[in-house]
Structure 1
Amino acid sequence: MSDLPRLLHVGYRPIGNPDNTGLTLASMFESWPDSHLLQVFSKDASGPSVRRGGYELPSTTYPLEHWGRRVLGADVRGVADGMNSSVARTGRVPLKTRIKLVAMVLNDIAPVVLPKDLDDVVAEYRPEVLHSLLGSVREMSVALAIAKRYDLPILPHYMDDWPVNLHQASPFRGIARRRVERTHRAILERSPVGLGIGFKMAEEFTSRYGRPFTPVGNSVPADDLLGATGSVAHERGVMRYVGGLHLGRDRVVSVVAEELARHENTAGWSIEIFRPGHSAAAAATLAARHGNVIDRGEVEAAKVADVLQTASCLLFIESEDEGVVPFTRYSVSTKVPEYVASRRPVVCVGPVEQGSIEAFARSTRSVALQLRQPDWEGLVRFLGTVDDPMPPDVGPRVLEEFSREATHRRLAAAARAARDAR
């Protein structure tokens, strides 16, 4: 990949931050040389996967948060209840959560002020293209301010459909939506091309915004997709879930566990959970409530592939929450390439038209369930086939969609197009 542009990546956390976004970015930029990548981020992070180097914006970049912390002794940009402040809540919302939501929205739409010493960093590096996941008014404002100050084209990268949905259900909806739309228009004016997290999103956004969008998401090495993983010995009657149990995923595991125990042909099945530390309490509750749920604790990144390959089948969960679905309808989860590479069948729970679930349907053997109208008999029949041999290879489309090599080529081509359109 010669002639790569000098990229300036603007984000909240650095590349490789140990969450789904950070790990997706790490896979994207794995082959991008340090000499051609400068990071500007709001909060630093630590851990073996974090890509070092870059510039951390001072707290004064965000005056409302800065003075809020100084006066109140707290970070006004905290998480209220585990969901984005724009997601519509159902049922009774506690007063404390409502107050926090107001603070989060005000903090998001507040002005930003770039530090003067950023000039020296940028002048020395001489970037050619600005890349950012955006996703909030605040991150858009920072990216736009930097792009304007240093006259850079923007390569926007969309992980979900926030342009249409951000702040639709927020406090101060009218003011907040106007800020979203005005700032996003300014972003697009500097964006000759764009990136989407998957092929479905790239197609939709190309039509919607009238410029080319390229699919770039998480990926795995082509050898992982081509390897004979389908022949790895696997345990019988074991469904494995790898991921967090937030946003109602624990409820889904509970419902599936009850159904497995209820049917004669699946009564001997178990669900094994491999989860991050923040889901320990939820996993312990599930294991205590259901005799067929086992909490396996945290798993090292290097061992995830083995965990997936040795299961009878895998469990994948997408939210059916009415407030979440509009955001994620075109999204493809970080887990999808890893699950596909495992060459194990996948039980998907969530909207059948959601981007990740559609990706599984065209890439591997899978079944989709919706909890609002579940076909439990169909699940039982599917589980009766999971020991059948998998297809001998994944096919060229899967390689193009999920291999790291193809993903890196698409990213490089889009970055060059953004640079050359100046």
Structure 2
Amino acid sequence: MVTSRSVVVTGLGALTTAGHGVEALWTAAATGVSGVKQIVLDYEFGNNLRIAAQVQDFDLERFFPHLKTSFFDRVTLMALIAADEAVKDAGLAEALPLGPRTSVIVGTGIASLGTIEESSRNMALTQKRPDPLTVPRAMISASASNVGLVYGCTGTTFVVSSACASSAQALGIAFHMVRAGLTDRAIVVGSEAIVTPGGMKAWEMLRVLSPQLCRPFSRGRNGLLLGEGSAALVIEAEEVAAARGARIRGRLLGYGTTSDAKDMLKPDVGGAAEAMTLALADAGLGAEAVGYVNAHGTATILNDSTESEALGRVFGEKLGTLPVSSTKPIHGHTLGAAGAIEAVVTIRALEEGFVPPTINFLEADPACPIDCVANVGRSHAFDVALTNSFAFGGINASLAIGRAA
């Protein structure tokens, strides 16, 4: 049994409010162009908040003309489109089926909300019979199963659902599986389709949405803005990637995860700090090795101050000169997809030697004593980054990612 292997990222894919593709996402993140817009809903539940980072134009048939789109919820459509780009980027499109040594792990917080809402509404309001495909569309594992089906992946396949930490945990678990020799390759996807009438109304009632702008770590911040989309990463054992001459885009170095076990909604400093500490320990690195933190940074009052304090515990005096940013004002808070989307952004930042900005920043908040890269991105060569995902339910995940070479 192989006990430890280097793990590399060989393929990236994304579908976000910025458009189709990783480069659309990176360009928006690097230049600070927000995809938050007036949303379009098929019907309403008295929705008062009408802005989000909604994906409004994508067509699965353009990518998979042979598939019957009626089989898929929107969350699965998004997962398939991101996976398509990542598999092609990894140079595996002509190597199908990928077989028993390729796994599929998807992270999603809410999964097939659109299908569930539509079916429930039809039955309750019109006594209309459910569509015969409701179950295969709505089951939480549908996205992972369909990605595996398209690419012939007969290895371990499952979905991780842990709120906003879902796809960060999916990536961390896949990383450990590849490193331990349990699989040679994994297609890891984060996907979320939360911008539905019921989804928007439920979050509105929670009183955490901003009616205007998302301003992470800034004085005057007043809540998050929802987003939807997907991102995919193909990860492989380095020896497997090298044997086929694959291009390496980044390295997964360490993963840490904790549970606060204290409160469903209130974040805990200790849990967040310990997740980062564990990620660094897993990577065999000290805090001084980190050159950038892609923060969870939701722009709620408590989240940002708590994350700032946790960063202080981990980095100490270094925190004052450590670039930190949140890209959520660009692509929205995509809940279960956030970890994967932000991992893609982090890898592109490592490739370019450039830290994307935290836009909409007004002025520093004494409760967030960090080196926030405010409004304009920053050229900055670095070799290691942390990307954080801290979820409702007190589930924390942090990933240490390294530059390809």
**TM-score (structure 2 length as normaliser):** 0.33
Q: Bigger relative contact order, structure 1 or 2, given CA contacts below 8 A and separation 6+?
A: 2
Bigger share in strand? 2
TM-score by length of 1: 0.32
